[in-house]
Structure 1
Amino acid sequence: MLKKIQHIKKLGVFDDFSWDSEVKNKGGAVQNFVDINIIYGRNYSGKTTLSRIARALETRTLSDKYGAPSFQLKFADNSDVTLAALTTHDKNIRVFNEDFIRDNLRFITNPDDSIEPFAILGDDNNKIEKEIEALEEELGSSIEGQETGLFADKKQAAVAYSNAFASHKQSNESLEKQLGDKATNKDIGIKYKPERFGDQNYTITKLKADITTVSSPDFQPLTSEQVSEHEKLIDEKVLPAIPKFSSPQLSFLSLALEVETLVTKPISESDKIQALVKDAVLNRWVNEGRSHHRNKHEKCAFCDNEISTERWAELDKHFDEESEQLEKSIDALLAKIETENQTIQSALTIDQSAFYSKFHSQLTALNLRLKAATKDYQLALGNLTKQLKARKGDILNVKDYENPADCTAKLTQIWQDYSDLCAQSELFSSSLADEQTKAKADLRLKEVAEYLLTIDYQAQLNSIETLRQKRDEAQQAQAIINTNITQKQAQVTAKKRELNDEEKGAKKVNEYLNNFFGHQFLTLEAKKDEGPTQEAKRIRFEVIRDGKKAYHLSEGECSLLAFCYFLAKLDDVATKDSNPIIWIDDPISSLDGNHIFFIYSLLNAEVVEKGKFAQLFVSTHNLDFLKYLRMLNGKYIDPAGSGKLKSYQKDFFVVIRQGKFSTIQSMPDYLKKYITEFNYLFHQIYKCANVESVNDANFNSFYNFANNARKFFEIYLYYKYPDQTSDEDKLKLFFGDEKIPAVLVDRINNEFSHLKGCFESGSIPIDVPEMQTAARQIIDRLKQDNEQFSSLMRSVGEAVEVETV
């Protein structure tokens, strides 16, 4: 059932129509379509446009002359049909409008053309009917809630597929949410930690790309140490340039050669005091004593004996210039060794803070090597010093030279390695941003890998895949059943075509023309065009008058024929028993009053009373036809009510054109409630007679009473007393022996309706008690004709008063 036309945009006279904001009842609630819907609108207000939207559902296409329109129809099952869904919807609808007439009754525009034929089931086809019956039994019932056969299987398969689809969707959406949270959630999302993971525009798409990376067998996550290094790296700032280091020139080899020369250098033995030669300590003591006594003491400070000139000569010969020169050379070489030692000691101090954390581990190792090598070099220098000091202490005696290990190459390599690290650090300054980006990417991949373990990603993937397979299997099972149903339905259709009888379609139209309209001058006949084969023969309908093809039909005849054709077509093979939505647009064009009533009678008898529809729409511009349409009533068997009869719901709508554009509204009471103005006038008098307390809401009943009463009596008394009696006499006849009411009503009618000769009445308030008294007298008099009064009460929706005896 069509619930409402949600919106219409840029389609005909509907520019931007919205149902929920415009179609509302008196209480302000949205008024939806019901079982039977009567639509009134003046010509050019948009009724045909609405019917064309409905016909677009039937033909599955809309004229491309509308430009770029859009519309949305909402149905009771919460499904929608839009312009884009015209070819895919499953709604069953039949529309009568001028497009239907043009497409099916082409003879109206081209007298030499024919009417599109349709078929009704033929006779004497018992065998085929039994085959059809068997197929339909296998298909079963498709009625909602009462499915049997293949349709029951279809419903079960649909439920199974729906459940499988929902399970797969729920599981998939759950995983997607977890991934989405990890990508963009403010609490745990990678997007909101760019300082660590490096991408403030991170998305779930990028996360899935990272998942592909970490899921590769070649992926190796960072170790704890690597994580620590990466964290330090991403905190790095560009460091100032490292002071340039120049490695000193080492002289170990030359020093060693000099030491060897001095240690092994012999001293001449002539004129030597043998006692001193043999005792190096004594020799050193004596030599030091010389410096203490020369030119200072004539006597020995130790033994107090005089030191003779001869003794000084002996000592000077013993401590000659050669030995003194050797000792000086040794002292000079010791100084050079000490200088070399100081150079080595201060040559290089490694400051890790000047380097990026990336190089700290290498610097630590290099510093250990540097200290070890420096110590070895200093030990070697100490060995040379020791040998020199030993020779100096025994200057007269040659010593054996001991060659220490040379660590020059080791120190030189360490200094070179340090220089290389300095160069690398300088180079790293220019690539720091790239290195930090790579470090953040590595940390992000580790974060992703750990998150996958946390949410048990692979297990969820496996579960989703299993559910997907179940969904696909359920979908395949559903497709198989649907295909089976389609094939069975095609077989039924094919077999029904074997029963087709186009001539019966023509006879059905003729039956309507004769029985409802008494039109015996026009008939339809089924003609068969000969073809080369039996299958090539084509049936066509022709309009016949007096045994000949009819030409020059009047507009009224065309309207009658077209509507009879449409109703007969509801019994064709494609439509019979399908209970479609029926939309009928203004079927009374160019018809007189009698034929308008016949159209209503045919519609009521053949459609409404027989329940051939799921929902009915009838639109008109004709107030006479609207009057009849108010009387449309019918009942249907309620499947939910154990087969009880239930009345169709009926409601009224109007299409109103406002300037260039139109809208749909709930029909106001003055059009919907009153069959004629006479009924309305009666209702206003009845309301005036029964007002208990006068207030601003009902005071208009008294101000309008004179006009309402005058017009009511003009209609009522004309039909009750259709002779030439005067209005005053007719009032007296109406009230009978009670003359006062007649006089009172006549006065009110004249003075308060026209203010004739009593202008001052218009300058004072209405006398409410006088009006209500007259109204009650009229109602009391009408009650005397109980049948008519009860009918009038029912016509205006008031409860019929039951007189108590």
Structure 2
Amino acid sequence: MLKKIQQIKKLGVFEDFSWDHEVKSNGGAVQSFVDINIIYGRNYSGKTTLSRIARALETGEISEKFGSPSLSLKFSDNSEIAQANLTAHGKTSRVFNEDFTRENLKFITNPDDSIEPFAILGDDNNKVEKEIKEIEAELGSSEEGQESGLFSERKSAFDDYSEAFQSHKTANDNLKRQLGDKATNKNIGIKYKPERFGDQNYTIKKLEDDLAEVQKSNFQPLTDEKIAQHEKLIEEKTLPNIPKLTPPNLSFTIFVKEAGLLVTKEISESDKIEELVKDAVLNRWVNEGRMHHRGKHEKCAFCDNAISQERWKDLDKHFDEESEKLDKDIEALVKRIEDEKKSISTALTINPSRFYSKFHIQLSELNSTLKSAVTEYQYSLEALISQLTSRKNDILNAKKFAHPVDYSTELESAWDDYKNICNESDLFSSSLNSEQSSARRALRLKEVADYLITIDYHSQLDSIAALQEKLDKASREKVRISEEITQKQTLISAKKRDLNDEEKGAKKVNEYLNNFFGHKFLTLESKKDAENSKRIRFEVIRDGKKAYHLSEGECSLLAFCYFLAKLDDIETRDSKPIIWIDDPISSLDGNHIFFIYSLISTEIVAKGEFEQLFISTHNLDFLKYLKKLKGSYINSTGGNIGFQKAYFMVVRQDRKSTVQVMPSYLKEYVTEFNFLFHQIHKCATMGSVDDTNYITFYNFANNARKFFEIYLYYKYPDQGMNEGTLNLFFGNDSVPAVLADRINNEYSHLCGVFERGATPVEVPEMQLAARQIIEKLKEDSEQYSALLRSVGEPPEAGDV
């Protein structure tokens, strides 16, 4: 139940309205809305604005033409809604006002348009209704916390999905966080080690690319040895070019050829001393002795015997020129071989410091190969020397020559390999940066691969995949149960459409119209749209033809009958709505007024099919009838259910309106005459004028004119109000009569003087006239006292 319109700001004539400050009884207590609420207010006081607030509870929005208003409504359960959530109340609201009429009865503004159709339940639908109830039983309740049936299954499915989604998200986010740390964390992030990994702009996206690389089947992680090489490489600085190697020319083939000739050369045996020929050692000893004695000793230094000339001749013949030449040739060849041995041992010394680290392993292997080749080559040369020495020691006897292995190819190959490495090292200087980049990339991929092992990456992927499968399953179940619910709701809607009967809606309106006119003067008919056979439209019919040019009263009556019948449509039926009826008799005569009242009394109040009822009016005759609305209704079990009734006024002061509790005289008494007397009495007795009571003086001219029209009509029914009856009322004193006549005419109607409307009202003049009127009324003390009592004013001294 709507308890109060807590606050309204900048909405039409409600500039800054606060319910708790303004809607109070005489005792100062705040008055709230109750079951039935009667609201009185003059035209343009703000009644329709209040109805638009109520209609916003139905439509969920306030017209954008109001600018930027602010409002707050409070319900009996202490819940509050504001402009931002106007449909959060969960109640059904139905409002009759000019907006409702304009939207539903478009023919009023456009004679060629039709009336919006509505449907009420058709006849003989027990079977369909039973089917609907069965489907609704399957669906169960969707109320939060009390779900049942399919809605309970949907809640479980949504809970399972939410749990699966959160578990998957947690696992996935955890893995992403770990990968993100490896990419950009200051402690372990690759981004913060560019000197090793080569990318100070490293991101999670780049890490994902590296992940793809290390997970390829052909990826080979670096060995410890390779890691050490890459670490050395990334620390390398550019080295100068390596001096070119100029190795000696090898003469092994020549040496073999010459040595073979020398070792196998035959010496002529003529004139040879047989003993020396047979004994090489002795032969060498004698030859050496010969060298020592010739030209130095005449006697043998060994035996001290004289060496004869004949012996010297024999020795010279034995050691002839041929053997000496052979001996010298052998010595010369050995000398050459020894020189070559020495040259190859010093031809190449490998210094790794001249090379980049990437070549050090090659150089180490080459160094071993080089040393082996040098050694083997020297062994072969030594073999030649050994055979030459052996022949030299036995110069007279030819020897068999043994060919040593030629290792010159191996040696030259080692030197060529060294040259190639030198060239590669020199060339490497120009590609050092790219090589270092490749090394850093390799180290980075190794780091990524190792990190995947550290965080058990593949196990996490398997776990996430399992959670994804669970999530997909929960998602499918959520979609399935949601689709099943939607299908059943669609089926219910389809079956309810089977129940719909727009023709009955039109008949309901006609029933109300016929009750008023007594015959089918105006009727409403449902017709199929010419362009869309499934669409129904309502038309107003008069004398069998579409009606045009309805009077304002007919439009008002038709609109209200339409609204009343629509309370029984399928969207409203059994919903106990909040009903707000705004000024339904604006252009109706007395018969219309009573008919509208009787419809409200019998079709709404007497049936009790509403949660709360609001009726606003500017018409005091209609207000008189509304006061007669019953305060109870009989329910389906025969019980008498009581209503509370409350009365309010909408009062406009200049450009601002407010809601007040209806004064007791207006609530308890019926006629406007009491109200007009009260306004004149206030004007006559008011001590000072301020913003709170200025409206009393502003409206005095109208109030006084209407008061005289009523009062003088009953006093002088043959004349009514005119200059003569005013003089009769005031008696011999003509001044008040003239003054009252001026106020009644000039201030009430402006009398053609447009400037009068722009001139402030003269308060003393108004109050003087009011006092004169009151003084004349006092002459009939009984009537005057009764008037005072009727408006709740205390009797004056001397009154009866």
TM-score (norm 2): 0.58
Query: What is the percent sequence identity of the aligned residues?
Result: 55
Residue in 2 that maps onto 1:348: 348
Residue in 2 that maps onto 1:572: 569
Deviates more, 1:376-385 or 1:434-443: 434-443
Residue in 2 that maps onto 1:666: none
Matches within 5 A, 1:305-704: 312-506=312-506, 525-529=524-528, 536=533, 539-543=536-540, 549-552=546-549, 569=566, 572-574=569-571, 675=660
Matches within 5 A, 1:209-358: 209-273=209-273, 276-296=276-296, 312-358=312-358
Q: Tell me how far apart the structure 1 counterparts of residues 311 and 258 of structure 2 sit (CA, whole Å).
A: 35
Residue in 2 that maps onto 1:625: none
Q: 1:336: Cα distance to partner?
A: 0.8
The amino acid that maps onto 2:155 is K
Q: Tell me how far apart the structure 2 counterparts of residues 519 and 199 of structure 1 sit (CA, whole Å).
A: 95
Residue in 2 that maps onto 1:192: 192
Q: Tell me how far apart the structure 2 counterparts of residues 460 and 542 of structure 1 sit (CA, whole Å).
A: 70
Q: Tell me if the contact between 1:57 and 1:91 (Cα under 8 Å) persists in the aligned partners.
A: no
Q: Tell me if the contact between 1:299 and 1:306 (Cα under 8 Å) persists in the aligned partners.
A: yes
Residue in 2 that maps onto 1:107: 107
Q: Tell me if the contact between 2:527 and 2:539 (Cα under 8 Å) persists in the aligned partners.
A: no
Q: 1:176: Cα distance to partner?
A: 2.5
Change (3 A) 1:151 1:511: farther
Q: 1:270: Cα distance to partner?
A: 4.3
Q: Tell me if the contact between 1:344 and 1:374 (Cα under 8 Å) persists in the aligned partners.
A: yes
Change (3 A) 1:677 1:193: farther
The amino acid that maps onto 2:257 is L
Q: Tell me if the contact between 1:55 and 1:95 (Cα under 8 Å) persists in the aligned partners.
A: no
Deviates more, 1:173-182 or 1:200-209: 200-209
Q: Tell me if the contact between 2:238 and 2:429 (Cα under 8 Å) persists in the aligned partners.
A: yes
Residue in 2 that maps onto 1:134: 134
The amino acid that maps onto 1:445 is L
Q: Tell me if the contact between 1:117 and 1:502 (Cα under 8 Å) persists in the aligned partners.
A: yes
Q: Tell me how far apart the structure 2 counterparts of residues 526 and 310 of structure 1 sit (CA, whole Å).
A: 175
Q: Tell me how far apart the structure 1 counterparts of residues 277 and 698 of structure 2 sit (CA, whole Å).
A: 173
The amino acid that maps onto 1:127 is K
Q: Tell me if the contact between 1:530 and 1:537 (Cα under 8 Å) persists in the aligned partners.
A: yes
Change (3 A) 1:198 1:537: closer
Q: 1:111: Cα distance to partner?
A: 0.8
Q: Tell me if the contact between 1:555 and 1:590 (Cα under 8 Å) persists in the aligned partners.
A: no
| SS in structure 1 of the partner of residue 538 of structure 2 | strand
Q: Tell me if the contact between 1:263 and 1:391 (Cα under 8 Å) persists in the aligned partners.
A: yes
Q: Tell me if the contact between 2:502 and 2:526 (Cα under 8 Å) persists in the aligned partners.
A: no
Deviations 1:747-778 (A, max 9, x none): xxxxxxx9x9xxxxxxxxxxxxxxxxxxxxxx
Q: Tell me how far apart the structure 2 counterparts of residues 346 and 91 of structure 1 sit (CA, whole Å).
A: 109
Deviations 1:652-673 (A, max 9, x none): xxxxxxxxxxxxxxxxxx9797
Change (3 A) 1:788 1:265: farther
Q: Tell me how far apart the structure 2 counterparts of residues 221 and 228 of structure 1 sit (CA, whole Å).
A: 13
Change (3 A) 1:554 1:358: farther
Q: Tell me how far apart the structure 2 counterparts of residues 41 and 279 of structure 1 sit (CA, whole Å).
A: 160
Q: 1:257: Cα distance to partner?
A: 2.0
Structure with higher Rg: it is 2
The amino acid that maps onto 2:136 is E
The amino acid that maps onto 1:241 is N
Q: Tell me how far apart the structure 1 counterparts of residues 93 and 234 of structure 2 sit (CA, whole Å).
A: 69
| SS in structure 2 of the partner of residue 227 of structure 1 | helix
Q: Tell me if the contact between 1:180 and 1:204 (Cα under 8 Å) persists in the aligned partners.
A: yes
Unaligned 5+ runs, structure 2: 1-15, 19-32, 35-43, 65-78, 619-643, 645-654, 664-686, 709-728, 731-761, 765-787, 794-800
Q: 1:408: Cα distance to partner?
A: 1.6
Q: 1:509: Cα distance to partner?
A: 6.3
Q: Tell me how far apart the structure 2 counterparts of residues 48 and 113 of structure 1 sit (CA, whole Å).
A: 24
Change (3 A) 1:397 1:485: closer
Q: 1:251: Cα distance to partner?
A: 0.8
Q: 1:434: Cα distance to partner?
A: 4.3
Q: Tell me how far apart the structure 1 counterparts of residues 553 and 214 of structure 2 sit (CA, whole Å).
A: 81
Deviations 1:104-130 (A, max 9, x none): 444244312211211122345333333
Change (3 A) 1:92 1:589: closer
Residue in 2 that maps onto 1:162: 162
Q: Tell me if the contact between 1:183 and 1:191 (Cα under 8 Å) persists in the aligned partners.
A: yes
Q: Tell me how far apart the structure 1 counterparts of residues 124 and 340 of structure 2 sit (CA, whole Å).
A: 132
Q: Tell me how far apart the structure 1 counterparts of residues 120 and 170 of structure 2 sit (CA, whole Å).
A: 50
State the aligned residue count. Answer: 590
Residue in 1 that maps onto 2:647: none
Over aligned residue pairs, what C-alpha RMSD do you find? 6.0
| SS in structure 2 of the partner of residue 404 of structure 1 | coil
Q: Tell me how far apart the structure 1 counterparts of residues 394 and 499 of structure 2 sit (CA, whole Å).
A: 145
Q: 1:158: Cα distance to partner?
A: 1.9
Unaligned 5+ runs, structure 1: 1-22, 26-34, 64-75, 83-89, 623-646, 648-669, 679-703, 726-753, 757-783, 790-805
Q: 1:346: Cα distance to partner?
A: 1.8
Change (3 A) 1:247 1:205: same
Q: Tell me if the contact between 1:522 and 1:543 (Cα under 8 Å) persists in the aligned partners.
A: no
The amino acid that maps onto 2:323 is S
Change (3 A) 1:551 1:414: same
Q: Tell me how far apart the structure 2 counterparts of residues 201 and 566 of structure 1 sit (CA, whole Å).
A: 71
The amino acid that maps onto 1:471 is L
